[in-house]
Amino acid sequence: MGAGERARPGQPAVLVLEDGRAFAGEAFGAVGETFGEAVFSTGMTGYQETLTDPSYHRQVVVMTAPHIGNTGVNDRDYESERIQVAGYVVREPSRITSNWRSQRDLGSELADAGVVGISGVDTRALTRHLRERGAMRCGISSLDVSAAALLEKVLAGPEMLGADLAPAVSTRDPYVVAPRDGERRFRVAALDLGIKRNTPLSMAARGCEVHVLPATATADELLAVEPDGVFFSNGPGDPAAADYAVAAAAGVLRAGVPLFGICFGNQVLGRALGFGTYKLAYGHRGINQPVKDLATGQIAVTSHNHGFAVDAPRDGPPVDTPFGRVAVSHLALNDDVVEGVACLDVPAFSVQYHPEAAAGPHDANSLFDRFCELMASAGKGGA
């Protein structure tokens, strides 16, 4: 995407879903056409972090909060180098920005990034439709507002099922995030499957030197860093298509090096342990998702962005896998989706949600401490 023409006030636009339902509105952001999977996010804040989260690659995001853009945008809240969404849908863009950190307005930011959006849409009706029918392909156009013509293009587009997208958003070259205070406690090799900027910073705040490697890095390449622990990040696409990452996780497990995964990384670990994955009807996206820790009974409000989940037994004793016993550790309270797994015989665990607190909440931030404790208990760490 490149800089595009900014939408004019009142310029017509249309959104069409693959089942034929159409929503008329006004152009927002850049003028043009865009296509992707229509999903909705329930966060009332954090729209900039949502826009720049690589896990939203090739998705058209519908914001359920009715008023978007109030606080503008700034350089610090970017979670990657660019806006990642394929398109953006809002009910009412803010006419002004009012925040001491604001540097630009949202409409201009979208236009400069070439992101096509639509406003004035009944996002409540659209969200209810997606909840009932499931996430599906869609298109937005402010060039040709013929719903029939746009539908033909939508149906010709690729589906999310089977899509291998992590390499498209991953870093091409390895890089290092130094410990925040200069003193290294642990060295971590992080597989970038679509990592958010605040994730390595969260580990660096705990004295970790984080070596971020491309999505297709092998287990040997991860272990060549001589890490105290290995981290598998969030990312977009279907985990069933990411065999390269699953092979890397299996290699790390065989080496006995502590492993921590989040979001896509949770699905990758699940597959390495022998579990399957499946596509959720409409996914979990937002910063207000309740999750229960089955070991402690503690309930955390957490940040989610996933359309796939691990298919592991929710009840009963731990499951025997090629790497020993594994237990489901966390469940989503809204729908009982598996939100985490814990290995009992090798040093590895993962969760389906985001503990890096960008844009919040902070309930799960201690999972990075748990990772550090796992590395320490494995006899790792130190300069």
Tokens representing residue 174 in the block: 């390895």
Question: At 373, which amino acid appears?
Answer: E
Cross-strand pairs, 63:
41
> Is 57 known to be catalytic?
no
Dmax (CA) of the chain? 63
Q: Catalytic residue among 129, 211, 284, 354, which?
A: 354
How far is the C-alpha of 220 from the C-alpha of 237, rounded, in Å?
24
Tokens representing residue 354 in the block: 């985001």
> Is 356 known to be catalytic?
yes
Spatial contact of 161 and 236, defined as CB atoms under 8 Å apart: no
How far is the C-alpha of 177 from the C-alpha of 145, rounded, in Å?
46
Q: Catalytic residue among 57, 129, 356, 372, which?
A: 356
Sign of the CA dihedral 201, 207, 209, 213? negative
> Is 304 known to be catalytic?
no
Q: 292: helix, coil or strand?
A: strand
Count other Cβ atoms within 10 Å, centred on residue 107.
Answer: 24
How far is the C-alpha of 295 from the C-alpha of 244, rounded, in Å?
31
How far is the C-alpha of 3 from the C-alpha of 112, rounded, in Å?
4
Spatial contact of 193 and 264, defined as CB atoms under 8 Å apart: yes
Q: Catalytic residue among 263, 304, 339, 372, which?
A: 263
The one-character DSSP state at 283 is E
Which sequence positions are flagged as catalytic?
A: 263, 354, 356
